[in-house]
Chains A and B, each alone.
Chain A
Amino acid sequence: MTTVLAAEAGDSTARNLTLTLFLVFVAVTLAITVWASRQTKTATDFYAGGRSFSGFQNGMAIGGDYMSAASFLGIAGLIALYGYDGFLYSIGFLVAWLVALLLVAELLRNSGRYTMADVLAFRMRQRPVRTAAAASTITVSIFYLLAQMVGAGALVALLLGIKPGTTFLGLDADAAKIATIIMVGALMVTYVTVGGMKGTTYVQIVKAFLLMGGAVVMTLLVLAKYKFNLSDLLGDAADASGKGAAFLEPGLRYGVETPGDALKTFYSKLDLLSLGVALVLGTAGLPHILIRFYTVPTAKAARKSVLWAIGIIGSFYLLTLALGFGAAALVGSEAITAQDRAGNTAAPQLAEALGMDFLGGELGGATLLAVIAAVAFATILAVVAGLTLASSSSLAHDFYANVVKNGTASERQEVAVARISALVIGAISIVLAIFAQNLNVAFLVALAFAVAASGNLPAILYSLFWRRFNTSGAVWAIYGGLFAAVFLVFFSPVVSGSPTAMFPDQDWQWFPLSNPGLLSIPFGFLCGWFGTVISKERDDQRYAELEVRSLTGAGAH
């Protein structure tokens, strides 16, 4: 079995095929984008796709927006290398959707218009709340974006088989990485500026189908190999991992027990709890997810879209279970770590192994590898487009139109600013990603979830359900949660003071947990309460309007 992707000259077939499929995907999505741009005339078209999507379409788009490279490649890789703990991660990602379904989606759809801040600022003074919401939206989105783009650079280079010392189209590995980051950035800016929400949504829908299709095919092949006996697959994976039964139990990656070091064990287990809480509470505070609820006409359709999203996301994570354990059994951790230390190439490597087995030799392997690599590429593009749209919407609608222009900007001006914002945010993230490309920034996704759970979620829930909540409370909640999460992570082992840190050679670490959620989320809720009670502001009339509108859909946009 070939253990190294596209290492041989004969594998240039895979590389050419991958590249061809990449280009086909790019061509198709650009065509969709141009088509969508013809139908994008008003601000509602640009920000919310004209609210014309069905619950099913939006559910697929949510899946496409949410299942990032971190979930597809990351979780499959995590399971392949650490077994059960990768599965544990995906459970948090799924259960989180119940918060969105039960507490947020419908009420937000009924009372908001384009951004998260529409709901937060509904009964508050516009400027302070919208400034805070825009700051938080842009911070969360840029963190998430950066992690995806740095990952994309490394990944595409790997998937195309460009290694240090080799060249591709005259580019060496480093140049290829930078070229990839720039190209991904350019594409996401094009999707957003040209196609707006409509174009972005269709890109996400196409990607969701590709991703599910790829995952289903691979899962069937893995299971066929084990005659649909899950127990045999698990046994084989455990044996191949060299860790035995422990591979099928929690504890190899999160909550690691260090014999003889009780304190380290204690912190490691707390870290697991912290991660769990942040994953579950973060999703319903992610701005790029929240704005998706505005693309459907009614609250009922918003509910339907979350139901479809839960269906597709849940099924997908069940499939990653087979993919991850399949990669552990059929590819082996040694071959995976030889390719990528973090295990991100486990799924493509599994595709190659399965293709060789089922489709006949080298060519079959190369074909399936190319298909899955192209799917991974589509995944990254769809997610970064969603993030760019969320941050540029907030910059234009919240900050420019309501803070700078105080609500006097015309619709046309606002959309023009949104397009320019997408360009600026795209440029900034390209530059940041190029500088960060050799740093370990995978933690930024978890940090984005922690900020969303600590700042945005308390503000949203208080806004919707607490009569007394006011401007001061909203501003305290958002800044409190945001700063607490960023501050704690800055002094945590993921930034400095450990070999896997962003700056492994520096050490200013004193906070023991990698994930701040366990402290920063209660702190965010506390700040929201404290900020509220120290202010006398209270507007029962506006709360009546918000509550009635959010529950009934009266006067909804």
Chain B
Amino acid sequence: MSTDTPASAPAESAAERYLAVQWSAEFAGLRCALRGFVFPMTVAFFLWYALYVILSAYARGFMGTKIVGNINVALVFGLLQFASTFLIAWLYSRYAARRIDPVADRIRAEIGEVTHDHGPRG
């Protein structure tokens, strides 16, 4: 895009700057904090959802067991998927506000204006 100025000298230093930041302990901590939450959580909710789908396909007797009145295991299990989705979303927003945002803000401030114009092409 025309607004990007791929000026060679500052870009060079910007690129090196990014490499330096990437290798810094502070950034490693940020990466670790993010991945340490989102990867296990993704695996967890995916398995939890897979369990639900697999039970729906192969454990019909169990899913059809009535709990109260006409409310059966399948319905409760389905509603639990809603509950867990809301819960994970809430947990993540709390975690991100405490552990990710402050670090990200700090690093962004350190990188500052030097690299501002070195955007992706297009």
Q: How far is the CA of A545 from the CA of B96 in the complex (A)?
A: 22
List of A residues within 8 angstroms of B50 by Cβ: 276
Does the CB pair B74–A234 fall under 8 Å?
no
Does the CB pair B116–A98 fall under 8 Å?
no
Does the CB pair B121–A255 fall under 8 Å?
no
Q: Check A310/B70 contact, CB under 8 A, given A401-B122, A555-B119.
A: no
Q: Contact mask B92-122 → A, CB, 8 Å, 1/0?
A: 1100100001001101100100011111111
Q: Contact mask A245-259 → B, CB, 8 Å, 1/0?
A: 110111100110100
CB within 8 Å of B: which A66-88 residues: 84, 87-88
Q: How far is the CA of A554 from the CA of B16 in the complex (A)?
A: 14
Is A334's CB within 8 Å of the partner chain B?
no
Q: Contact mask B61-82 → A, CB, 8 Å, 1/0?
A: 0011010111110110010011
Does the CB pair A88–B69 fall under 8 Å?
no
Q: Check A249/B82 contact, CB under 8 A, given A101-B89, A276-B53, A551-B104.
A: no
Does the CB pair B45–A98 fall under 8 Å?
yes
B interface, over-half SS: helix
Does the CB pair A280–B101 fall under 8 Å?
no
Does the CB pair B1–A98 fall under 8 Å?
no
Does the CB pair A317–B101 fall under 8 Å?
no
Stretch of A89-97, A139-147, A204-212 that contacts chain B = A89-97
Q: How far is the CA of A555 from the CA of B111 in the complex (A)?
A: 9
Does the CB pair B122–A113 fall under 8 Å?
yes
List of A residues within 8 angstroms of B46 by Cβ: 280
Most chain-A CB neighbours within 10 Å: which of B35, B74, B96?
B74
List of A residues within 8 angstroms of B1 by Cβ: 43, 113, 401, 407, 411
Q: Check A552/B30 contact, CB under 8 A, given A94-B81, A126-B121, A248-B74.
A: yes
A549's nearest neighbour on chain B, judged by CB, is B18
Q: How far is the CA of A358 from the CA of B16 in the complex (A)?
A: 70
Q: How far is the CA of A42 from the CA of B38 in the complex (A)?
A: 35
Q: Contact mask A308-328 → B, CB, 8 Å, 1/0?
A: 001100100110000000000
Q: How far is the CA of A401 from the CA of B122 in the complex (A)?
A: 7
Q: Check A84/B74 contact, CB under 8 A, given A91-B82, A97-B85, A553-B108.
A: yes
A307's partner among B53, B54, B72, B93 (CB-CB below 8 A) is B93
List of B residues within 8 angstroms of A299 by Cβ: 104
List of A residues within 8 angstroms of B21 by Cβ: 544, 548
Does the CB pair B85–A98 fall under 8 Å?
yes
CB within 8 Å of B: which A314-348 residues: 314, 317-318
Closest CB in chain B relative to A317 CB, distance in Å:
7
Is A235's CB within 8 Å of the partner chain B?
yes
Closest CB in chain A relative to B110 CB, distance in Å:
9
Does the CB pair A235–B69 fall under 8 Å?
yes
Is B8's CB within 8 Å of the partner chain A?
no
List of A residues within 8 angstroms of B78 by Cβ: 84, 87-88, 91
Closest CB in chain A relative to B75 CB, distance in Å:
7
Does the CB pair B72–A544 fall under 8 Å?
no
Q: How far is the CA of A101 from the CA of B91 in the complex (A)?
A: 12
Does the CB pair A407–B122 fall under 8 Å?
yes
Q: Check A94/B82 contact, CB under 8 A, given A101-B89, A235-B70, A407-B1.
A: yes
Q: How far is the CA of A542 from the CA of B121 in the complex (A)?
A: 12
Q: How far is the CA of A287 from the CA of B19 in the complex (A)?
A: 30
Q: How far is the CA of A121 from the CA of B50 in the complex (A)?
A: 32
Q: How far is the CA of A386 from the CA of B74 in the complex (A)?
A: 34
Q: How far is the CA of A111 from the CA of B104 in the complex (A)?
A: 14
Does the CB pair B122–A541 fall under 8 Å?
no
Is A498's CB within 8 Å of the partner chain B?
no
CB within 8 Å of B: which A225-240 residues: 230-232, 234-235, 238
B58's partner among A269, A407, A541 (CB-CB below 8 A) is A269
A557's partner among B75, B88, B119 (CB-CB below 8 A) is B119
List of A residues within 8 angstroms of B41 by Cβ: 98, 102
Is A243's CB within 8 Å of the partner chain B?
no
CB within 8 Å of B: which A251-271 residues: 251, 254-255, 257, 269
Q: How far is the CA of A539 from the CA of B71 in the complex (A)?
A: 56
Closest CB in chain B relative to A471 CB, distance in Å:
14
B31's nearest neighbour on chain A, judged by CB, is A551
Does the CB pair B70–A255 fall under 8 Å?
no
List of A residues within 8 angstroms of B42 by Cβ: 98-99, 102-103
List of A residues within 8 angstroms of B37 by Cβ: 102
Q: How far is the CA of A273 from the CA of B120 in the complex (A)?
A: 39
Q: How far is the CA of A246 from the CA of B108 in the complex (A)?
A: 56
Is A535's CB within 8 Å of the partner chain B?
no
Is A300's CB within 8 Å of the partner chain B?
yes
List of A residues within 8 angstroms of B56 by Cβ: 88, 250-251, 254-255, 272
Q: Check A255/B88 contact, CB under 8 A, given A303-B93, A551-B104.
A: no
Does the CB pair A548–B49 fall under 8 Å?
no
A309's nearest neighbour on chain B, judged by CB, is B89
Most chain-B CB neighbours within 10 Å: which of A88, A98, A112, A232?
A98
A237's nearest neighbour on chain B, judged by CB, is B70
Given contacts A411-B1, A557-B119, 17 further A-B contacts (CB under 8 A): A84-B75, A84-B78, A88-B56, A91-B52, A91-B82, A95-B85, A98-B42, A102-B88, A113-B1, A232-B70, A249-B72, A251-B56, A276-B50, A310-B86, A402-B122, A410-B2, A555-B117
Question: Which 4 residue pairs are nearest across A and B when measured between Cβ atoms?
Answer: A231-B69, A276-B53, A250-B56, A544-B22
Query: Which B positions have Cβ atoms within 8 angstroms of A?
Result: 1-3, 14-16, 18-19, 21-22, 27, 30-31, 34-35, 37-38, 41-42, 45-46, 49-50, 52-54, 56-58, 60, 63-64, 66, 68-72, 74-75, 78, 81-82, 85-86, 88-90, 92-93, 96, 101, 104-105, 107-108, 111, 115-122
28 contacts between A and B (CB under 8 A): A88-B53, A88-B78, A98-B88, A98-B89, A101-B92, A102-B88, A102-B92, A113-B119, A118-B122, A121-B120, A230-B71, A234-B70, A235-B70, A245-B66, A248-B72, A398-B122, A465-B35, A541-B15, A544-B15, A548-B21, A548-B27, A552-B104, A552-B105, A552-B111, A554-B107, A555-B116, A555-B117, A555-B118
